[in-house]
Structure 1
Amino acid sequence: MKALVCILLLLETFVFVAQQQVDGGLNENEISQQISSEDERQNPPRTDTLRAEASTDSQQYCNLGIPDIHAALRELTATVTEQKANIRELTTTVTEQKGNIRELTTTVTEQKENIRALETQLREQQTFILDELKKKNDEISNLTLSKVEELRKENREREIAFSAGLMQSGSGHVGPFTTEITLTYRKVLTNIGNAYNPVTGIFTAPLKGAYMFRVTIYGHGGTAATVSIFKNGEQVVVAHDVQAQDRLNSSNGVVLVLDVGDVVYVRLWPKTRIYGISHENLNTFSGFLLFPLREQELCRM
Structure 2
Amino acid sequence: MQSILLICIMLVAPCCTEPHCSKFHYEESLLEKMIRTEILVQNMKKEIGDIQNQVRESLANLKEETNTWKTEIETLQENSKTKLAELSEKASSELDKNMQKVDDLKGRAVLPNVVFNAKKVINDSPGSGNTIVFTEIILNLGEAYSPDTGVFTAPHGGTYLITVQLCVDGSKYIDYGLVVDEVYMNVARYQDNHAVVCCYGSTTTVSLKPGSKVWVKVVNRSSSGTLLYGSNSNYWNTFTGVLIRVD
TM-score (norm 2): 0.50
Deviations 1:196-250 (A, max 9, x none): 1111110111111111100011122222133221111111113422214322221
Give the number of the structure whose residues are more often strand, by fraction.
Answer: 2
5+ long unaligned stretches in structure 1: 1-146, 294-301
Matched, 1:165 2:119: yes
> How many residues matched?
140
Deviations 1:107-143 (A, max 9, x none): xxxxxxxxxxxxxxxxxxxxxxxxxxxxxxxxxxxxx
The structure number with the bigger radius of gyration is 1
| Structure 2 equivalent of residue 254 of structure 1 | 204
Q: CA contact under 8 A between 1:225 and 1:249: conserved in structure 2?
A: no
Which structure 2 residues correspond to residues 18-57 of structure 1 after superposition, within 5 A? none
* In 1: Cα distance, 2:148 partner to 2:233 partner: 19
Q: CA contact under 8 A between 2:185 and 2:206: conserved in structure 1?
A: no
Please tell me the root mean square deviation across aligned C-alpha atoms, in Å.
Answer: 2.8
Deviations 1:76-132 (A, max 9, x none): xxxxxxxxxxxxxxxxxxxxxxxxxxxxxxxxxxxxxxxxxxxxxxxxxxxxxxxxx
SS in 2 for 1:182: coil
Q: CA contact under 8 A between 2:115 and 2:241: conserved in structure 1?
A: yes
* In 1: Cα distance, 2:157 partner to 2:126 partner: 36
Q: CA contact under 8 A between 1:215 and 1:239: conserved in structure 2?
A: no
| Structure 1 equivalent of residue 132 of structure 2 | 183
* In 1: Cα distance, 2:110 partner to 2:196 partner: 46
| Structure 1 equivalent of residue 239 of structure 2 | 285
Matched, 1:275 2:224: no
* In 2: Cα distance, 1:257 partner to 1:270 partner: 26
Counterpart residue type for residue 292 of structure 1: V
Which structure 2 residues correspond to residues 90-169 of structure 1 after superposition, within 5 A? 155=110, 158-167=112-121
| Structure 1 equivalent of residue 213 of structure 2 | 263
Give the number of the structure whose residues are more often helix, by fraction.
Answer: 1
* In 2: Cα distance, 1:265 partner to 1:284 partner: 12
Matched, 1:221 2:195: no
Matched, 1:202 2:151: yes
TM-score (norm 1): 0.42
| Highest RCO, 1 vs 2 (Cα 8 Å, sep ≥ 6) | 2
